[in-house]
Amino acid sequence: MTYALPTPTARPAAEPNTVYLITSGDLRESANVAGWPVQAAAEAAVTAVFEELGWTVIRPFGVDPETGHGYISSQRMGMEVFTRIPEDAPLAVVTANWQYSHHVLPGLRTHRGPILTVANFAPDWPGLVGLLGLNAGLTKMQKPYSTLWSVDFTDQEFREGLRSWTETGRVAHDASHVRALAALPDGPEKELGQALAAQLRRDKAIIGVFDEGCMGMYNAIFDDELLNPTGIYKERLSQSALYAEMRTVADAEADAAYDWLIEHGMTFHYGEDPATELTRDQVQWQLKMYIAALRIADDFGLDAVGIQYQQGLKDLVPASDLAEGILNSTERPPVTSRDGSRVLHEGRAFPHFNEADEGVAVDALVTDRVWRAMGLVPDNTLHDVRWGEEYDGDFVWVYEISGSVPASHLGGWHNAEGWRQGHVFFPAGGATINGVSIPGEVVLSRIYIAEGVLQADLFRGSVVELPADETRRRKEATNPEWPIAHVVLHGQSRDQFMARHKANHVQVVYAPDAETADKALIAKAAMLDGMGIRVHLVGDVTV
């Protein structure tokens, strides 16, 4: 019998000194349309430098006349685009926006030619954030790549980096600020971390995930085979269950939580048009989400919880940020069990991992346990590595998260303001927890997958105070409705950080002073090491 065999898809042949240029977009078309002018300008600037080097740039797909943008906006589209690219051709992925990595990862996984990821380093459209997420995904799937970033693509570092890639297929970056964790000094911090790790591996913990894979973050999904040996297991939950539970929360319960926030000094900036302004009804739903999340956590005996908060949920209810920030706060409105007999997690923060990022989940759980055991305030959160510029001789990073910061990072609820989330991304609205993080010493970290194992980078920094006009400028240049932290990293430059960091997120927790921060970092390193996670110290770290 003769069968009709499939015909391989014909691909063009690679040509000398020719690079294929693609870009990955958002899944939200409103974001793609809004971001396209910045993306088009970035592509034009990168193309010009390639052409100066004598290279031809081919863009294997054009601008869609119906949508008005030229992003790869779905996984299927990405697969189709890669059929037009020679498998061994040099390939550049250029991004000037947040991008859903899974749109292009299938094609990148099987691509045989050299891969370069490129982003703008600008405040308005977060290409560098998208770049870090994409790089982390490539790192997780052990795909070699090179990476570059630039403010305007005219600086010497970018041009020399691109020249190196065209000549050798790689770009080298300085990694002298990174060292593997050596033997920690004997002492109470090491002993504490080891004991906490042994307890976790023996007694185990559960993280509740309300739908994995938020916003295309392949790097934020930790396989059970890697996660379980640390002592951490998943309870896979559905956002539909969270929504259903929200509908059972009485208005009086949400009102009580609202009254608590007002009594503790939080301010909400209300308007009348729910399409673009914050309303009391939006906040009511967010407080019902806060209560519902705690009750579901109680049902399953969870130790931390993560809400995806994007696809699906954003079309049903207001954003989850207010609920998330309250959960991450030790000082928060009390929530009782359904029968009213118990206050859930009384007097404690309940770790929440924003965007269901499981690297954040492990980090938040570990940080909470170490800091509480040391008698410190354990409130911690992720931030987006959003942008940064020099100020008064230091490179000061803009760390922002979409609103889910604990109030203690802002100095208390009296410094917290509820601003409406942007309507382009959050059609149902909802309040952020807006404010400016107070000056202080912080421990920073990221847990990620590389070389097929869980790894952690630990580093130190300081949150600094900038003048009000500079803070306002930075907020207006990025997202003024989001909370901001002005961060100076210890012993690592902007470019060292960009080349090394394996996520769009970074975890932040305060300590009362530098000495305590160093001690807490040692305890955290010992706990992570005891969990079987490969630990690295980055920058100036005292152990």
What is the b/e burial string over 502-513, where b = at least 16 CB atoms within 10 angstroms of the residue's CB?
Answer: bbbbbbbbbbee
Name the E strands within 104-229. Answer: 115-120, 146-150, 178-180, 205-210
Closest CA to 175 of 446, 498, 398: 498
The tokens for 28 are 């939200």
Q: How far apart are CA 431 and CA 465, in angstroms?
A: 25
R_g of the chain computed on alpha carbons: 23
- The string of pLDDT tens digits covering residues 271-326 is 999 999 999 999 999 999 999 999 999 999 999 999 988 777 888 999 999 999 99
Q: Which CA distances in Å does 85 have to 25, 344, 438?
A: 18, 55, 49
Q: What is the pLDDT of residue 511?
A: 98
The answer to whether 429 touches 319, Cβ cutoff 8 Å, is: yes
Distance of CA 331 to the CA centre of its chain: 24
Backbone φ/ψ region at 304: left (φ over 0), alpha (ψ -120 to 50), beta: beta
Q: What is the pLDDT of residue 1?
A: 84
Provide mean pLDDT across the span 176-205.
97
Provide mean pLDDT across the span 339-361.
96
What is the b/e burial string over 62-87, where b = at least 16 CB atoms within 10 angstroms of the residue's CB?
Answer: eeeeeeebbbbbebebbeebbeebbe
Q: Give the containing element (helix H, strand E) for 365.
A: helix 358-373
DSSP string, 453-487: EEEEEEEEEEE----HHHHHHHHHHS-TTS-EEEE
Cβ atoms within 10 A of the Cβ of 59, count? 15
The answer to whether 410 touches 438, Cβ cutoff 8 Å, is: yes
92: which residues sit within 8 A by CB, 6+ positions away?
Answer: 19, 20, 21, 22, 46, 50, 57, 115, 116, 117, 118
Q: What is the pLDDT of residue 32?
A: 93
Which of 367 and 404 is assigned the larger pLDDT?
367
Name the DSSP letter for residue 229.
Answer: G
Specify the pTM. Answer: 0.96
Which of 284 and 214 is assigned the larger pLDDT?
284
- The string of pLDDT tens digits covering residues 369-410 is 999 999 999 999 999 999 999 999 999 999 999 988 999 999
Q: Where do the H-state alpha helices sit in 25-175?
A: 29-52, 75-82, 105-110, 127-140, 156-168
Q: What is the pLDDT of residue 403?
A: 83
- The string of pLDDT tens digits covering residues 117-152 is 999 999 988 899 999 999 999 999 999 999 999 999
- Report whether pLDDT(261) > 90: yes
Provide mean pLDDT across the span 10-18.
94
Q: How far apart are CA 221 and CA 231, in angstroms?
A: 16
Q: How far apart are CA 78 and CA 105, in angstroms?
A: 8
Q: What is the pLDDT of residue 309?
A: 80
Share of the chain above pLDDT 90, in %: 93
Angle at 425 between CA 28 and CA 495, to 5 degrees: 90
- The string of pLDDT tens digits covering residues 52-61 is 999 999 999 9
> Which backbone phi and psi does 307 adopt, to 5 degrees?
-105, 125
Strands 380-391 and 505-511: what pairing? antiparallel
Name the DSSP letter for residue 404.
Answer: -
What is the b/e burial string over 129-142, where b = at least 16 CB atoms within 10 angstroms of the residue's CB?
Answer: bbbbbbbbbbbbee
- Report whether pLDDT(8) > 90: no
- Report whether pLDDT(28) > 90: no
Paired residues of 142 in beta bridges? none
Which of 309 and 173 is assigned the larger pLDDT?
173
Model confidence band, residue 258 (pLDDT cutoffs 50, 70, 90): very high
Q: Give the containing element (helix H, strand E) for 373.
A: helix 358-373
Share of the chain above pLDDT 70, in %: 100
Distance of CA 368 to the CA centre of its chain: 19
The tokens for 223 are 């396989």
375: which residues sit within 8 A by CB, 6+ positions away?
Answer: none
Q: How far apart are CA 445 and CA 459, in angstroms?
A: 6
Strands 394-400 and 417-418: what pairing? unpaired
Q: What is the pLDDT of residue 413?
A: 98
Q: What is the pLDDT of residue 301?
A: 98
Q: Position of tokens 């949400």? A: 254
> Which backbone phi and psi does 443 adopt, to 5 degrees?
-105, 130
